């Protein structure tokens, strides 16, 4: 492979991208509610541009937009969607890692396990035809479903990342973060952690409760609610999350802390936009292409803004 | 002309787009501070995609990204930048209105008036070569500079919009909103109003203080600060505005109120993104292309979200 | 009378107090929902202290806690409650103005007009026995109910203030702010305006829509919601309003603007606490007793806070 | 002693009060910056009432207002202040625990250790004359100063609580939370933990990093900033913290989590007001006196509020 994900992880933190589904909803191409990825066929240029933005701002791994791309969630044959998703990710980022993957299936709540496994394999097949560098199974509320995903992911010989959609209380089927981690490690994951639904600090806490020999991953949402809980439970979900939106500084702080605590696959989920990724990249000491456009308020048109900027520099320099 | 702006205004509210400069800063292509438009040459695909998103979400007029495109602000010959800007707007929206225009010049604060006028004419010339449907002079703090812009805009026979960057207190050179309006009307503007720096409600108040025979325009920022004032004076400006970000509902409410009070050119400035434009369009009773992706939480994967959605509908239906 | 309210109004703005009911709910003595004033009997020391705080922070008029003190809302004979309420206000502020008054009655929505009038007279009688300096009829959604209140208030020869609980759209019975004002003036009010439910800027806008020979009053809530509307319609009402709470600076800005636009009876309603009143007093150029405790961050224990304070002063001093 | 603090701790969580200094600043009696307690002499009725409110809302321990009451911080003989402080706490809460205590001394940063120790003993003496049930040394940034406080506290035979003002990074003199805990335990503390400067979740994280045989205490501020850090570093500190204010629900969630993780002395610091204490009490399954005034929106005057309340109940009841 051109992009050796495991070798990169060994060297230090790898930066992922942000949340494509939510960002494309805001751009008018994804429906809130189902949150499915038909946009890869309907408006490929929008997906391509967003992938490019994440790459431009420092993401090293681009996730193909295959989320909720299983037949039972899509309501159609997923092959075309999943192939297009991988091609767009590759086109946007030829020299970066391209991740394919799996996500929750509606069937899990009422079907039998072999049916779920079959849906997951089918979900992966088209992706594998186009060629990906790693697989990410993500956003699982049930440990059991995550294990099925891991099982399905064994059809390829690729690095396997699995992230649960859980807080410190653990999974819906009653497993603590640490129990989840040990089970996922035993089932053959290379990278283990959490993604979605919880703010950066809560997500980091949950991740650090996982004692594992695997690499750790942490990909929180870009929102914070004072009352905590997963964001699906907030009154603002999903269309009035603005007042809960985290700033670039908050995400930068998160990335620095995650690195400090040894997390190796750092990134964002819903609500994490290109500028947050750049802030995470810079917090990790990097200079993505977009850093060429770093803010310089001394060049602002309004004199008061230039002067405020100077006074803040003075203040920051105070011992 | 293919797009007859004045005829459209006569029929009812015309919806503009949002803020390109701020959105492209968040995507990593514009530098905060100078806020100049070199991106049209450096990353035309990013500009093209953003214009498309505004069109997809209901904008009827796309502003070419010529903001701060005068020679003294750009620090280079503006012709290439301004030509590219207009071409991108036209490519993104062949059947919509494309606006060229003028913005404040650094020279105004220390140069003589004829020098400013010359810079403004030069700023316009390249735009006119490519062909635009209307001209917008915007974001003027001084009435005098706005009048110079109007004078420069007379080199073309196109509809002239002028919007001041003022609150209810009026311009930096001491004119009330109403005095500004009367003077701009006398100088030959077709549309008069405000843009930038102030939240929707304050902007609407300022606009309604203008008693004029011209059409009214109102294009506020997508942010709100409890302490009021122009956003350049907030501690959060420009990189930590997230907690001040307005929701789509807030912008929809604004559009409805603006229509009710007779404003005819409604749109947004910094912080107004594609999803806000869609909300404004829908608040005006329209169905932009993106309305095909209207939220439907009954299709959400998590049962609790589906149920909450149902209870809210019930509540909304209560007499 | 010792406190000549009308003479004071003639001299310039008179500052009222903030919202007792909401503040006493936060202190544990009033029930959210009914919001009735039994606390004056159950915990008189708590009411006395709060009145003292408003006086200490610059209020010139203390409203006796007779809100919702009519028989049909209280569910008991109101005489004892209303007498105690007036006595506590007088005890807390012997040299200031003490206001008695009227508020909406549940009976209005289904009873006949003479019944409402009788309830209102009964509501006032006990207050008048204890002696008040002026009467405030407040928070009326219907113009007709406000007019009944005015009619009832004529049993005493005291200054009459009437404030509607309306936004720019006007009253529930379909009258614009200006129509309300003209009718209330005709019915004999001395001071006319709005109180409750709307943020300061919206309340001020509504007040300024009233063209009247009476003095103007404006007593908004201390909360702001980006989506506007009366606060009873917000999801956060009434127990999670914290993130909507306005700062002292915001209320100070409001008071200054209100004075500038000629409002003469300035104050606050729900969510306006003693520190907001002090900020309004100081914004009007006054030095209430509490100004002796004006913040001085140069005396802070932590060196970084002292230094930041110095840098901000420097920045504020920049031309 | 009438109030046996250690016996209570053994039975389960003990609930403390909130932040007197900040609340009295908002009421107009304490100066922001120095934050010293002269109010106990200048306005004893204000302190008495606030203590009563905390007791009324469920606090089991009332801290006498002796914070920053050492001679070097007060600038006067502290005896009178400290005696008055203890008397007021006892008067407000005769049957609850009354805590005396120590806080940081300016001398620590430049004086020698024996001087600090002498100041601290002097700070305690007057308190002990009036009689307290326990001692709380709080808000220490340096472990060394906390140890001096503990040493001073040995002049009485009373339960000793020491809480550091630290985040997960540890103390200013370079000790991790766990190192702080082990040292304080060795120096004879009965209860160890954190207070002030950090939001509930961060404070709880820091507390749980302390592995100790002592009881744990956690008394966070009532504010949350998305960017983290101690609140003294926020631009909003100390006069514009409103938009960072936590709701009662957030504090209730905190109390429940703290109990779950075994914290035994739960309470609040700056920004935690009486209504937050009531919410913590109720979250711990208790019914403080103020619970008699629990919200009931079915009794609201406006029909829409009553109906919304009903719809929310329905939604909450959904499986």
Please say if the pLDDT value at position B313 is more than 90: no
- What pLDDT digit, counting tens, does each position of C303-319 carry? 888 888 877 765 554 43
Length of chain A: 319
For the range D256-262, what are the long-range contacts, defined as Cβ-Cβ under 8 Å and sequence gap of 24 or more? D256/D283, D256/D284, D257/D204, D258/D13, D258/D204, D258/D207, D258/D218, D259/D13, D259/D284, D261/D204, D261/D207, D261/D208, D262/D216
| pLDDT tens digit at each of 319 positions of chain C | 579 999 999 999 999 999 999 999 999 999 999 999 999 999 999 999 999 999 999 999 999 999 999 999 998 899 999 999 999 999 999 999 999 999 999 999 988 999 999 999 999 999 999 999 999 999 999 999 999 999 999 999 999 999 999 998 899 999 999 999 999 999 999 999 999 999 999 999 999 999 999 999 999 999 999 888 899 999 899 999 998 999 999 999 999 999 999 999 999 999 999 999 999 999 999 999 999 999 999 999 888 888 888 777 655 544 3
CA distance D2 to A277: 58
So what's the pLDDT on residue B50?
98
Indicate yes or no: CB of C227 within 8 angstroms of CB of B253: yes
| Exposed / middle / buried, residue D174 (Cβ in 10 Å: 0-12, 13-18, 19+) | exposed
- What pLDDT digit, counting tens, does each position of D67-109 carry? 999 999 998 899 999 999 999 999 999 999 999 999 999 999 9
Indicate yes or no: CB of B304 within 8 angstroms of CB of D318: yes
Chain A residues lying within 8 Å of B32, measured CB to CB: 293, 295-297
Question: Which chains lie within 8 Å of chain A at 3 or more CB pairs, if any?
Answer: B, C, D
So what's the pLDDT on residue D313?
66
Average pLDDT value for residue range B159-165: 98
Chain B residues lying within 8 Å of C205, measured CB to CB: 205
Q: Is the Cβ of C294 closer than 8 Å to some Cβ of chain A?
A: no
So what's the pLDDT on residue B319?
37
Write the residue in D30, D33, D45 that is nearest to C299 by C-beta. Answer: D33
- What pLDDT digit, counting tens, does each position of D184-216 carry? 999 999 999 999 999 999 999 999 999 999 999
So what's the pLDDT on residue D235?
87
Q: Is the Cβ of B52 closer than 8 Å to some Cβ of chain A?
A: yes
- What pLDDT digit, counting tens, does each position of B191-247 carry? 999 999 999 999 999 999 999 999 999 999 999 998 888 999 998 999 999 989 999
Indicate yes or no: CB of A318 within 8 angstroms of CB of C307: yes
Closest alpha carbon within chain B to C169:
B257
Q: Is the Cβ of C205 closer than 8 Å to some Cβ of chain B?
A: yes
- What pLDDT digit, counting tens, does each position of B9-60 carry? 999 999 999 999 999 999 999 999 999 999 999 999 999 999 999 999 999 9
**CA-based nearest distance A69→chain B, Å:** 13
Using CA atoms, how far residue A102 sits from A10, A94, A164, in Å, is 24, 22, 12
So what's the pLDDT on residue C111?
85
- What pLDDT digit, counting tens, does each position of D166-189 carry? 998 899 999 999 999 999 999 999
Q: Is the Cβ of D172 closer than 8 Å to some Cβ of chain C?
A: no
Q: Is the Cβ of D165 closer than 8 Å to some Cβ of chain A?
A: no
Chain D residues lying within 8 Å of B307, measured CB to CB: 315, 318-319
- Percent of chain D past pLDDT 90, that is, above it, reads 88
So what's the pLDDT on residue C243?
87
CA distance C190 to A163: 68
CA distance B251 to B272: 8
Pick the range with the lowest mean pLDDT from A226-230, A274-278, B63-67, B277-281: A226-230
Chain D residues lying within 8 Å of C199, measured CB to CB: none
So what's the pLDDT on residue B315?
57
Helices (H), chain A: 5-11, 20-26, 39-42, 44-56, 71-74, 79-92, 113-130, 143-153, 177-186, 200-208, 248-260, 274-283, 303-317
Q: Is the Cβ of B229 closer than 8 Å to some Cβ of chain A?
A: no
- What pLDDT digit, counting tens, does each position of D137-159 carry? 999 999 999 999 999 999 999 99
Write the residue in B243, B314, B319 that is nearest to D311 by C-beta. Answer: B314
Q: Is the Cβ of B311 closer than 8 Å to some Cβ of chain D?
A: yes
Q: Is the Cβ of C243 closer than 8 Å to some Cβ of chain A?
A: yes
**CA-based nearest distance B224→chain D, Å:** 13
Chain C residues lying within 8 Å of D296, measured CB to CB: 31-34
CB–CB contacts below 8 A, C to D: 152
**CA-based nearest distance A143→chain D, Å:** 21
Strands D134-140 and B61-63: unpaired
Q: Is the Cβ of C311 closer than 8 Å to some Cβ of chain D?
A: no
CA distance B168 to B230: 11
Chain B residues lying within 8 Å of A49, measured CB to CB: 45-46, 49
- Percent of chain A past pLDDT 90, that is, above it, reads 88
Indicate yes or no: CB of C253 within 8 angstroms of CB of B202: no
- What pLDDT digit, counting tens, does each position of A195-243 carry? 999 999 999 999 999 999 999 999 999 999 988 889 999 989 999 999 8
Give me the residue label for tokens 């003199």. Answer: D173
So what's the pLDDT on residue A317?
47
So what's the pLDDT on residue D117?
97
Q: Please report which confidence band the pLDDT of residue A107 belongs to, taking 50, 70 and 90 as the band edges.
A: very high
So what's the pLDDT on residue A140?
98
Report ipTM for this prediction.
0.96
Query: What mean pLDDT value characterizes chain A?
Result: 94
- What pLDDT digit, counting tens, does each position of A44-85 carry? 999 999 999 999 999 999 999 999 999 999 988 999 999 999
CA distance A145 to A225: 28
Closest alpha carbon within chain C to D32:
C295
Nearest Cα neighbor of C89 from C110, C59, C112 is: C59
Chain D residues lying within 8 Å of C25, measured CB to CB: 275, 293
């Amino acid at each position: 492979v051109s992009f050796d994900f495991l070798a990169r992880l060994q060297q230090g933190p790898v930066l992922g991208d942000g949340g494509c589904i939510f960002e494309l909803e805001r751009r008018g191409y994804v429906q809130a509610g189902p949150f499915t990825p038909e946009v890869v066929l309907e408006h490929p240029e929008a997906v391509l541009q967003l992938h490019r933005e994440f790459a431009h701002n420092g993401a090293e791994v681009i996730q193909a937009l295959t989320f909720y791309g299983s037949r039972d969630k899509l309501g159609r044959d997923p092959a075309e969607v999943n192939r297009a998703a991988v091609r767009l990710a590759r086109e946007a980022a030829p020299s970066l890692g391209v991740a394919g993957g799996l996500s929750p299936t509606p069937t899990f709540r009422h079907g039998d396990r072999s049916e779920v496994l079959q849906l997951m394999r089918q979900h992966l097949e088209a992706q594998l035809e186009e060629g990906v560098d790693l697989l990410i199974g993500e956003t699982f509320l049930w440990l059991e479903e995550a294990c099925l995903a891991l099982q399905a992911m064994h059809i390829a010989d690729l690095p396997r990342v699995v992230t649960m959609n859980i807080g410190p209380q653990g999974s819906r089927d009653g497993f603590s973060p640490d129990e989840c981690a040990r089970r996922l490690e035993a089932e053959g994951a290379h990278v283990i952690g959490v993604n979605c639904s919880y703010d950066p600090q809560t997500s980091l806490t949950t991740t650090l409760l996982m004692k594992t020999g695997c690499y750790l991953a942490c990909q929180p949402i870009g929102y914070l609610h004072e009352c905590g809980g997963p964001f699906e439970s907030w009154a603002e979900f999903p269309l009035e999350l603005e007042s809960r939106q985290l700033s670039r500084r908050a995400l930068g702080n998160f990335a620095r802390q995650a690195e400090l605590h040894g997390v190796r696959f750092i990134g964002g989920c819903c609500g994490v936009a290109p500028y947050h990724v750049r802030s995470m990249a810079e917090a990790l000491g990097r200079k993505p292409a977009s850093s060429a456009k770093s803010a310089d308020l001394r060049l602002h048109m309004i004199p008061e803004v230039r002067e405020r900027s100077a006074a803040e520099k003075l203040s920051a320099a105070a011992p």
